[in-house]
């Protein structure tokens, strides 16, 4: 009887210990799952794209001469989606030229945009101090007066020396559109500027990105009609110093 009793007590203790271990393991597993779920929800929340603004926008397309390459397709998007468009192209402009004057602010006050497409960098592709030019960008930003602004990088024809990296580091992949990996055909006799078909492809890519990946999605359904032959725009030229 003593041996049997002792055996029963030992068996009971072992069973209790096993039960405790099993319950504890299940608790830890459930806790881990809950933590993972919270983490997943948090990550998804961070990656959530804001709701698309479907209202009519007053768009300002401005920047260097690459704004001209984009403006015909942008006008088509605006006509098709019932937005208004004003265009300013500043030939040979850089982040420095925009930073050293109030040109952007002037046109913001003149046209009162609700949305800005700022294309820049083509004339800075090979500068030696690309990363330092963030100081110029910091002087440009206040001129937007807090208006939603998409920054559009240059249509690279060669590898740049850092202007794209600087803009990407400053704005991130949801406010800066990296154009350099697209394949552009160029205007005949012009190394840099995209031709009309390439300008259309470029804006189609930008519009798709704005709708699905940017911080500021707006109504930009792809037009089914042809680009306009003529677009009104303001042309500025950087004067030689």
Q: Contact 117/61 with Cβ under 8 angstroms?
A: yes
* Sequence ranges of the domains in the chain: 1-48, 58-237
Residue 204 or residue 11, greater confidence: 204
Site of tokens 């937005």: 83
Percent of the chain exceeding pLDDT 90 equals 78
Query: pLDDT tens across 134-155, in order?
Result: 999 999 999 999 999 999 999 9
Q: Which tokens is 69 given?
A: 């390459």
Cα–Cα distance for residue pair 61/144, rounded to 1 Å: 12
Cα–Cα distance for residue pair 240/22, rounded to 1 Å: 80
Checking if the pLDDT of 18 tops 60, the result is no
Label residue 139 exposed, middle or buried (CB < 10 Å: 0-12, 13-18, 19+): middle
Bridge partners (DSSP) of residue 194 are 186
- Residue-level pLDDT at 48: 65
Q: Contact 190/197 with Cβ under 8 angstroms?
A: no
For the beta carbon of residue 151, count every other beta carbon within 10 angstroms: 22
- 234 — pLDDT class (breaks 50, 70, 90): very high
Q: Which tokens is 41 given?
A: 């929800």
Cα–Cα distance for residue pair 124/198, rounded to 1 Å: 21
Cα–Cα distance for residue pair 209/159, rounded to 1 Å: 22
Site of tokens 């007590």: 9
CATH superfamily of 58-237: SGNH hydrolase (3.40.50.1110)
Cα–Cα distance for residue pair 236/88, rounded to 1 Å: 7
- 188 — pLDDT class (breaks 50, 70, 90): very high
Cα–Cα distance for residue pair 20/77, rounded to 1 Å: 66
Residues whose CB falls within 8 Å of the CB of residue 87, separated by 6 or more in sequence, listed in order: 60, 61, 62, 67, 68, 71, 74, 75, 231, 232, 233, 234
pTM assigned to the model: 0.81
Query: pLDDT tens across 50-64, in order?
Result: 899 999 999 999 999
């Amino acid at each position: 009887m003593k041996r049997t009793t002792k055996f029963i007590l030992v068996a009971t203790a072992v069973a209790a210990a096993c039960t405790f271990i099993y319950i504890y393991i299940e608790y830890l597993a459930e806790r881990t799952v809950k933590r993972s779920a919270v983490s997943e929800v948090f990550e998804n929340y961070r990656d959530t794209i804001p709701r698309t603004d479907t209202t009519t926008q007053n768009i300002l397309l401005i920047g260097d001469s690459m704004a001209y390459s984009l403006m015909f397709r942008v006008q088509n998007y605006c006509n098709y989606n019932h937005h208004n468009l004003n265009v300013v192209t500043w030939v040979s402009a850089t982040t420095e030229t925009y930073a050293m004057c109030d040109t952007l602010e002037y046109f913001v006050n003149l046209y009162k945009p609700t949305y800005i497409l700022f294309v820049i960098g083509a004339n800075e592709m090979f500068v030696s101090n690309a990363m330092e030019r963030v100081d110029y960008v910091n002087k440009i930003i206040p001129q937007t007066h807090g208006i939603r602004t998409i920054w559009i990088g240059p249509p690279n024809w060669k590898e740049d020396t850092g202007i794209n990296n600087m803009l990407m580091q400053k704005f991130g992949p949801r406010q800066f559109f990296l154009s350099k990996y697209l394949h552009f055909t160029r205007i005949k006799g012009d190394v840099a500027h995209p031709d009309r078909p390439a300008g259309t492809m470029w804006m189609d890519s930008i519009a798709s990105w704005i709708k699905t990946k940017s911080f500021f999605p707006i109504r930009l359904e792809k037009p089914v009609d042809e680009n306009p032959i003529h677009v009104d725009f303001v042309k500025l030229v950087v004067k030689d110093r």
